Amino acid sequence: MAIFDQINNDIKEAMKSREKERLEALRGIKKVMLEAKTAKGAGAELIDDEVLKIISKLAKQGNDSAAIYKEQGRDDLYEQEMIQVKIFESYLPEKMSDEELSAAVTAIIAETGATGMKDMGKVMGIASKKLAGQADGKDIATKVRSMLT
């Protein structure tokens, strides 16, 4: 089952079980997915990779917002944001460990034949696609940079 269909089913379940926070988070995901689906130049259907990128972006934004709320002493908003982030992350694949990320980046570097920093863009292009949703873009870039220097 496609993630888009899974989210639609989960929205129905959340409505039936009256889970307000979950329903709100799922509707947020669906809204962004529909916007991406109807954007100019978009395909008729969203593939799972695109959906994972959308959900990953929402989770990152939620974490950033939660950090700001925590910093400002707004624990009520912090808790609300973290509940949504947990729901977003339940649709994402498990994050790679540092060792797994190192192994994946090493394989990509070998695959591309990269020899130095001049090849970082080539490696990052492939790594970003292959590791989407499994590792944060910043972590990937840091790992690629450290391995190419």
Domain that holds residue 144: 98-148
Shared domain for 53 and 80, answered yes or no, is yes
Q: Which amino acid type is present at position 55?
A: I
CATH of the domain at 79: 1.10.1510.10
* pLDDT tens digits along 64-107: 999 999 999 999 999 999 999 999 988 888 888 888 888 888 88
Distance, in Å, from the CA atom of 69 to the CA atom of 66, rounded to the nearest integer, reads: 5
Distance, in Å, from the CA atom of 54 to the CA atom of 33, rounded to the nearest integer, reads: 7
Last residue of a domain, one of 89, 113, 133: 89
pTM of structure: 0.71
* pLDDT tens digits along 10-61: 999 999 999 999 999 999 999 998 888 887 776 667 787 788 888 888 998 9
Question: Rg (Cα) of the chain, in Å, rounded?
Answer: 18
CA distances from residue 100 to 93, 94, 139, 140 in whole angstroms, order as listed: 14, 11, 12, 11
CA 9 vs. chain centroid, Å, equals: 20
